[in-house]
């Protein structure tokens, strides 16, 4: 099994930037941790040149049954999420509600299969009613879809005229149907402001559909997560809508290599980390409590390095960043082909305990030598401290900027990265444990931490105060 190498301690100067409290509390739909499980999109997008995966009930059960196996039992990977392609694409049922493609899925049966294994089911949806259903009457009303929904958003759907009678009722009817099936998670895609067009013709602002789905979930009587995407606006007014209605939101675009033989690329991961940094630094200038989790997109760390598209060092670094951010941990890999390194990354009890910690105390950047928050190739991050002074710290060497990393430097080879307690905004003496090699423990009383890291490598530690 591959393990990241140990760090060596050296010396650094102190910074003086204040470290404010940053926590995440219960979300709009009543969740106190981010989603953890599997999503089908990576295999759907990469399947033609990879596994040959076809989205249907048999193949989804084959994937998700892995998460119900003893290796994953009790680790929280409970969500089995279907991406685009599970539903009929051009029309709904007699009331215009979203329905499954019956040649591929029986959602109620799939939900029952998963629930019997203490797992949960998620479904993908996009905004709008079906254009082909404009003459159908919304359930429990005498309102036709076409009277409150018009135009073409490029997804075979019309755009709702929010605020008109009938619009909320349509959303209520869809979510009530999902509740009858036993759905636990809704992934709502193509939300604006934020989502790139990607061939669609999206209205400039689709935030009202997030509110409509949230209200429908509340009326359904069934607790469901609402995850919204992609690369959503982070300004105060829009973010307040996301926070008040959704449980997680995508901070970046898709990170998979669509149609390629590998799942992702390090250049894309650099971009995803930078987009998380841009988001989180908006919430570090004062004590703040958030009520929504970031979603940095699917995890591609479980299959061998050539298939993931990143090195083994980078696989550990990806998992460390996703966990430290308090992000959803939705695996995008082929779960039937996990290698030993992937299993060790995904099932480490020590690491997942850190993920639980960071879901309440998400990490933010603290530049080595200054404590500032700008993008750097050699970066430090801190999550916490909690009320007992415990914190997690991540040091990383992202390697040369491959175009979207934000730091625009090209240092090659191994680099020494040192962060002082002043840089991190903390003080005191700490017992330090390596997250990925828990047997490596040591005390630091000199007020600084350092590691020599190669390109794409990181050093992730838990810091516990000692006298």
Known catalytic membership, residue 189: yes
Residue 302: CB atoms within 10 A of its CB come to 25
- In angstroms, rounded to a whole number, what is the distance separating the alpha carbons of residues 335 and 343? 10
> Of the listed 133, 172, 189, 227, which one is catalytic?
189
Q: For 425-459, b where at least 16 C-beta lie within 10 A, e where not — what string?
A: bbeeebebbbbbeeeeeeebeebbbbbbbebbbbb
Residue 368: CB atoms within 10 A of its CB come to 24
> Of the listed 172, 238, 254, 312, which one is catalytic?
254
- In angstroms, rounded to a whole number, what is the distance separating the alpha carbons of residues 323 and 273? 12
Known catalytic membership, residue 254: yes
- Nearest Cα residue to 50 out of 368, 337, 301, 372: 337
Answer left, alpha or beta for residue 408, where phi above 0 means left and psi between -120 and 50 means alpha.
left
Strands 429-434, 458-466: pairing is: antiparallel
Cβ–Cβ < 8 Å for 79, 330 = yes
Burial class of residue 174, CB neighbours in 10 A (0-12, 13-18, 19+): buried
β-pair partners for 123: 186
Residues forming the active site:
189, 254
């Amino acid at each position: 099994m591959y393990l990241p190498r140990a760090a060596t301690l050296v010396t650094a100067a102190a910074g003086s930037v204040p470290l404010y409290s940053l926590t995440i509390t219960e979300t709009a739909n009543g969740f106190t941790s981010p989603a953890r499980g599997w999503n089908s999109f990576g295999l759907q997008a990469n399947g033609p040149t990879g596994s040959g995966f076809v989205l249907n009930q048999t193949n989804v059960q084959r994937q998700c049954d892995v998460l119900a196996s003893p290796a994953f039992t009790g680790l929280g990977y409970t969500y089995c999420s279907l991406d685009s392609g599970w539903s009929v694409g051009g029309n709904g049922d007699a009331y215009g509600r979203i329905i499954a493609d019956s040649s591929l899925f029986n959602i109620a049966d799939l939900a029952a299969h998963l629930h019997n294994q203490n797992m949960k089911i998620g479904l993908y949806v996009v905004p709008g009613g079906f254009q082909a259903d404009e003459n159908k009457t919304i359930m429990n009303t005498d309102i036709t879809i076409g009277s409150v929904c018009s135009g073409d958003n490029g997804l075979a759907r019309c755009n709702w005229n929010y605020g008109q009678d009938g619009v909320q009722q349509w959303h209520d009817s869809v979510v009530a149907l999902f509740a009858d099936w036993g759905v636990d998670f809704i992934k709502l895609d193509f939300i604006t402001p934020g989502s790139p067009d990607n061939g669609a013709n999206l209205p400039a602002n689709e935030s009202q559909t997030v509110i409509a789905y949230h209200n429908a979930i509340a009326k359904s009587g069934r607790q469901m997560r609402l995850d919204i995407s992609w690369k959503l606006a982070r300004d105060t007014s829009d973010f307040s809508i996301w926070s008040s209605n959704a449980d997680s939101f995508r901070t970046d675009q898709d990170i998979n290599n669509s149609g390629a033989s590998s799942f992702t690329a390090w250049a894309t991961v650099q971009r995803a980390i930078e987009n998380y940094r841009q988001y989180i630094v908006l919430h570090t200038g004062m004590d703040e409590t958030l009520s929504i989790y970031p979603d940095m997109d699917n995890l591609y760390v479980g299959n061998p390095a050539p298939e993931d598209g990143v090195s083994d060092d980078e696989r550990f670094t990806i998992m460390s960043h996703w966990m430290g951010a308090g992000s959803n941990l939705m695996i995008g890999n082929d779960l039937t082909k996990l290698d030993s390194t992937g299993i060790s990354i995904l099932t480490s009890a020590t690491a997942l305990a850190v993920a639980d910690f960071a879901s309440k105390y998400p990490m933010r950047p603290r530049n080595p030598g200054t404590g500032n928050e700008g993008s750097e190739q050699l970066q430090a991050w801190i999550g916490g401290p909690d009320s007992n002074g415990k914190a997690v710290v991540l040091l990383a060497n992202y390697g040369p900027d491959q175009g979207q990393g934000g730091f625009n430097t090209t240092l090659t080879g191994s680099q020494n990265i040192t962060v002082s307690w002043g840089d991190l905004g903390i003080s005191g003496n700490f017992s330090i444990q390596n997250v990925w090699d828990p047997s490596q423990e040591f005390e630091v009383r000199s007020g600084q931490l350092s590691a020599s890291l190669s390109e794409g490598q990181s050093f992730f530690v838990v810091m516990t105060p000692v006298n």
